[in-house]
Amino acid sequence: MKDLKIAVVGLGAVGKEMLSTLEKSNLPISEIVPLVRRNEGRIIQFRGKGYKAKKISEGVFKGIDIALFSAGAEASRTLAPIAAKEGAVVIDNSSAFRMDPDVPLVVPEVNPQAAQKHQGIIANPNCSTIQMVVALKPLHDLFRIKRIIVSTYQAVSGTGLAAIEELNEQTKAFAEDKEMPVNVYPYQIAFNALPHIDDFLDNGYSKEEMKMHNETRKIFEDNTVRVSATTVRVPVVRCHSEAVNIETEKPLPEVAEIKEILAKAPGVKIMDDPENNVYPLAVDCAGKYDVYVGRIRKDFTIENGLNMWVVADNLLKGAALNAVQIAELIAEKNWLKGGKDNALDCAEVRRNIC
C-alpha cells in the first residue's frame, strides 16, 4: 500500500473525529491536508506534526489521494465533483450523493463490493442507517428480511457542535432556574424528546425517516425490503439508540442461535443479559467502534418476527469511522482510481475489516 496524502474537508464535530480516527488507523499517511471554507490558518496536530488548515480553492485537491468530506450537502455538491476531477477519491459524509445511482453507498462490513465501482465519489450513509444495517445484514443474508420497523433515539451531536453546546446551556439554565436558550431545535431538547429530525415531507415522514428506508434498500441491493422509521432527537450527547423490529421471509431460529450469528458478524458486539441489567447504553458505547446489540427477543405478535436494541457512536461508526474504513478498503484493494474489473472476495474483505 502506497503512502497516502489525505484531505479532511470540514473541521466540525465529525471532521475532528475523522482526524482522530485517521490518526489511530493503520493507513500509511504521508500528509494530512485540513481544508476549510473559512477560518483558515489554524494548526492541526496529526501524528506529531502540525498542519495548517487551508482554504478550499481551485487546484487544492491536486495530488490528494483521498478526500474525506464533512462540510454539509451544499458544499459537497459543489466541491466533491471538483475534488474528483482533480484526482482525489471523495468519501462524502453528507446526503448529497447517497441516492445517486452512479455513487456507491458503502458500509464496509455490509457491502464492501460496492466501493470498487466508484467513479471518484463514494457516499457515507446516514448515521442511523449505518448501525442498523450492520446489525441486520447477517440476518438478511440468512433469513431475508421483508419489513423493518425502527424507532430511533438520536444524540444531539448528530446536529453538530452548536446542538451540543445548546444542550449543555439548557441543562445549566434548568439547574439555575433560568430561561433556557432555544436556537438549534424548534423546542428545548434538555429533558425532552423531539420526534422531528430534518424536514417533514408530504407523506408525513421526515427526510431522516425516508433516508433509512431508501438507503437500506440501496445498501442491501434489495428494493423489496420495507422500512418504516420514526426518528426522535433525545438529550444525549453522543450515541444513537434504536429499537428495531424485523419480519423475515424464512423462519427464524431460537434466540440463542441468533445471538451466535450476530456475535460472529463483523463490527457487531452482543450485550444481552437483561436479567443482570446488561444491555447496550449510550453512555457505555460512546467512543467505541462497534455496533452493540441487546434485548434480542422473538416478536410473539407475528410469524418470523424479532426485536432488538441497537446502539452505536454516531460520530464514529455512524460517520467518521465508517468513512475511514472505506478509505482503508479502497487503499488496501488499490481501488483509488475506481472501476477495477478484478473480482472481489467479499468474505475475505469482511474478515479483514478494521
User: In the chain, pLDDT over 70 holds for what percent of residues?
Assistant: 95
The dihedral of CA 140, 143, 149, 155: what is its sign?
negative
Question: Which pLDDT score is estimated for 343?
Answer: 35
Average pLDDT, the chain: 94
How many whole angstroms separate alpha carbon 335 and alpha carbon 341? 10
- CATH number for region 4-125+317-351: 3.40.50.720
CA distance readout (Å), 195 to 199, 201, 274, 314, 331:
11, 14, 27, 18, 40
Question: Which pLDDT score is estimated for 344?
Answer: 39
Looking at the predicted structure, is the pLDDT value of residue 176 above 80?
A: yes
Chain segment 256-310, per-residue pLDDT in tens:
999 999 999 999 999 999 999 999 999 999 999 999 999 999 999 999 999 999 9
209 within 8 A of 224, measured Cβ to Cβ: no
Number of H-type helices and E-type strands within the chain: 9, 14
Chain segment 178-192, per-residue pLDDT in tens:
999 999 999 999 999
Pairing verdict, β 89-92 and 66-69: parallel
- 3 state DSSP class of 198: coil
How many whole angstroms separate alpha carbon 280 and alpha carbon 140? 22
Determine the average pLDDT of the residues in 140-168.
97
Question: Which pLDDT score is estimated for 350?
Answer: 40
Question: Which pLDDT score is estimated for 173?
Answer: 98
How many whole angstroms separate alpha carbon 343 and alpha carbon 354? 21
Closest by CA to 254, choosing from 298, 309, 190, 203, is 298
Looking at the predicted structure, is the pLDDT value of residue 238 above 90?
A: yes
Q: Please, which residues have CB within 8 angstroms of residue 52's CB and are 6 or more apart in sequence? A: 34, 40, 41, 42, 43, 44
CA distance readout (Å), 186 to 58, 195, 197, 203:
38, 11, 11, 21
Cell of 25: 488507523
Looking at the predicted structure, is the pLDDT value of residue 39 above 90?
A: no
Which run of H or of E encompasses 122? Answer: strand 121-123
Distance between first and last Cα of the chain:
16
Determine the average pLDDT of the residues in 213-222.
98
Chain segment 312-347, per-residue pLDDT in tens:
999 999 999 999 999 999 999 999 975 443 333 444
Domain ranges of the chain: 4-125+317-351, 128-314
Looking at the predicted structure, is the pLDDT value of residue 69 above 60?
A: yes
Question: Which pLDDT score is estimated for 66?
Answer: 98
Question: Which pLDDT score is estimated for 338?
Answer: 56
Q: Which residues are catalytic, by number?
A: 127, 240
- 3 state DSSP class of 115: helix
Choose which CATH entry (3.30.930.10, 3.40.50.300, 3.40.50.1010, 3.30.360.10) describes domain 128-314: 3.30.360.10
User: In the chain, pLDDT over 90 holds for what percent of residues?
Assistant: 92
Closest by CA to 152, choosing from 318, 271, 288, is 318
